[in-house]
């Protein structure tokens, strides 16, 4: 069976586009969630490219579980940890002590999430380009 890593990576790119579109529409909670999804799918694409499967939604763990030869910068793992905070709270009203999710997210959060996701996608893209 052929590897589907490029399907995962292309969807990651599309999810990042959705994050940017959501931010432009002032749906910052969805921008943050879509940024997380973009990063998650990009890292899973890299796992597939390397011939391994990855499960779960914690991007920082997915990065840490890559083989040592991938050389993931520690700061990138920290940025993934920030994105991991956008997996559940942007979508569910009980993700915060009170208020709807959209009341907890603004341009600062979505800018940061999009930037961190963009950096993760760039890391994966560079790895694939130099080894693929």
pTM: 0.96
The confidence score (pLDDT) of residue 1 equals 61
Backbone angles phi, psi at 66, to 5 degrees: -70, 150
By residue range, what is the domain housing residue 76?
A: 5-131
Contact 116, 37 (CB under 8 A): no
Mean pLDDT of 49-70: 96
Q: What is the CATH number of the domain that holds 62?
A: 1.20.120.330
DSSP state of 104: G
Mean pLDDT of 120-124: 98
The confidence score (pLDDT) of residue 3 equals 81
The confidence score (pLDDT) of residue 131 equals 76
CA distance 55 to 62: 8
Residue 71: count of CB within 10 angstroms of its CB: 9
Tokens of 48: 């597939």
Contact 129, 51 (CB under 8 A): no
CA distance 39 to 35: 6
DSSP state of 65: T
The confidence score (pLDDT) of residue 95 equals 92
The pLDDT tens digits of the residues spanning 6-19 come to: 999 999 999 999 99
Domain count, the chain: 1
Mean pLDDT of the chain: 96
The pLDDT tens digits of the residues spanning 81-99 come to: 999 999 999 999 999 999 9
């Amino acid at each position: 069976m052929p590897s589907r890593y490029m399907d995962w990576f292309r969807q990651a790119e599309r999810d990042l586009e959705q994050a940017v579109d959501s931010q432009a529409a002032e749906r910052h909670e969805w921008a943050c969630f879509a940024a997380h999804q973009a990063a998650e799918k990009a890292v899973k694409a890299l796992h597939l490219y390397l011939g391994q499967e990855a499960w779960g939604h914690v991007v920082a763990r997915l990065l840490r579980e890559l083989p040592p030869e991938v050389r993931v910068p520690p700061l990138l793992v920290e940025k993934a940890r920030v994105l991991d905070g956008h997996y559940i709270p942007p979508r569910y009203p009980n993700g915060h002590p009170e208020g709807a999710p959209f009341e907890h997210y603004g341009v600062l959060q979505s800018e940061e999430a999009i930037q961190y996701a963009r950096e993760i996608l760039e890391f994966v893209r560079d790895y694939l380009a130099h080894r693929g």
